[in-house]
C-alpha cells in the first residue's frame, strides 16, 4: 500500500480492514489508499465516512471517494479552506467550476445559518469511454467552532447542525454515507460521530452510554476525542 505523500504529519492512519479503497481511475501501479475510514451508525453500518481534509496532492483522490461511495452529504470543519496552503480545494467559488482531470465541480448555491454555510456541489465524472455522470451533493460547513477552547461555540448550535446534516442526508437519493472531514481526519469529525451516535441511540432506546459511543468511534479513529 503506497501512502507516501497522502497523509499529514502525525496523521491518524486508518487500518486496512475498515478503510475505503479507491477503484476508479487508478492507474496500474497506483495506490487505492486515501486517509478515510468507515464508522458505523447506531442503526446502519458504514453510516459515516470520516476523512482527512485533502492535501493539494490528494484532491482528485477525495473527489474519487465522494463519487465512488455515492456520498449523501459532505460535512466540513474547515472554515478557511481557500487560504490554507496545506489544504486542497475540492470545490470552487459560487457559480465557478473546478476541474481535476476526470472530475469537474460546480458550486451552485450558498446559504446557511449563524453556525453553518450550505452549498450544493455538482460533481461530474467523465469515464474512460467519455460518458459523463453527474451527481448533486449538499455540503454543510460548520462555522461555529471555538478555536481557543477547541470545542463548538454552542452545544445547541452543534446539535442543530447535526440535525441539519441528517436532514440533508435523508433528502439525498444516493443512499451513501455522510462524508465528514477535518484537518486531521479525527478530532472534530470524531466528536460529530460520537454525538450523532448518542442522539440516534437516545431516540431509539431512550438511554445512552457516552463511554461506549466514544469507544466505538475511537476503535476506527484512534485520535478521535483527544485527551486534553
- pLDDT tens for 191-211 read 999 999 999 999 888 888 999
pLDDT recorded at residue 27? 65
Work out the average pLDDT over 171-190. Answer: 94
Which grid cell sits at 103? 472530475
Mean pLDDT of the chain: 91
Other beta carbons less than 10 A from residue 9's beta carbon: 6
Structure confidence by residue, pLDDT tens digits, 62-91 = 999 999 999 999 999 998 777 788 899 999
- C-alpha 176: how far from its chain's center? 12
3-class state of residue 92 by DSSP: coil
Cell numbers that stand for 199 in this block: 442522539
Return the H-helix or E-strand segment holding 167. helix 155-171
- Mean pLDDT over 91-114 rounds to 92
Domain 36-218 carries which CATH code?
3.90.190.10
Say what the pLDDT of residue 86 is.
87
3-state secondary structure of 110: strand
Euclidean distance between CA atoms 15 and 17, whole angstroms: 6
Confidence (pLDDT) at 29: 61
Domain residue limits, the chain: 36-218
**Alpha carbon 210 to chain centroid distance?**
23
- Nearest one of 107, 148, 99 to 125, comparing CA atoms: 99
In tens, the pLDDT along 23-57 reads 876 666 678 999 999 999 988 899 999 999 999 99
Amino acid at each position: 500500500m503506497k501512502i507516501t505523500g497522502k497523509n499529514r504529519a502525525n496523521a491518524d492512519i486508518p487500518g486496512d480492514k475498515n478503510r475505503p479503497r479507491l477503484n476508479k481511475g487508478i492507474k496500474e501501479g497506483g495506490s487505492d489508499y486515501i486517509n478515510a475510514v468507515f464508522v458505523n451508525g447506531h442503526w446502519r453500518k458504514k453510516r459515516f465516512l470520516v476523512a482527512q481534509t485533502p492535501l493539494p496532492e490528494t484532491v482528485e483522490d477525495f473527489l474519487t471517494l465522494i463519487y465512488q461511495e455515492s456520498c449523501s452529504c459532505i460535512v466540513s470543519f474547515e472554515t478557511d479552506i481557500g487560504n490554507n496552503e496545506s489544504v486542497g480545494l475540492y470545490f470552487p467559488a459560487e457559480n465557478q467550476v473546478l476541474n481535476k482531470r476526470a472530475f469537474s465541480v460546480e458550486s451552485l448555491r450558498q446559504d446557511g445559518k449563524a453556525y453553518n454555510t450550505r452549498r450544493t456541489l455538482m460533481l461530474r465524472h467523465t469515464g474512460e469511454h467519455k460518458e459523463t455522470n453527474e451527481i448533486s451533493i449538499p455540503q454543510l460547513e460548520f462555522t461555529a467552532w471555538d478555536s481557543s477552547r477547541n470545542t463548538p461555540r454552542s452545544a445547541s448550535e452543534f446539535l442543530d447542525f447535526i440535525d441539519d446534516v441528517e436532514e440533508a442526508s435523508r433528502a439525498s437519493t444516493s443512499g451513501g454515507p455522510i462524508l465528514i472531514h477535518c484537518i486531521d481526519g479525527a478530532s472534530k469529525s470524531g466528536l460529530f460521530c460520537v454525538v450523532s451516535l448518542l442522539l440516534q441511540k437516545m431516540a431509539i432506546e431512550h438511554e445512552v452510554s457516552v463511554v461506549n459511543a466514544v469507544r466505538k468511534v475511537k476503535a476506527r479513529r484512534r485520535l478521535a476525542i483527544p485527551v486534553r
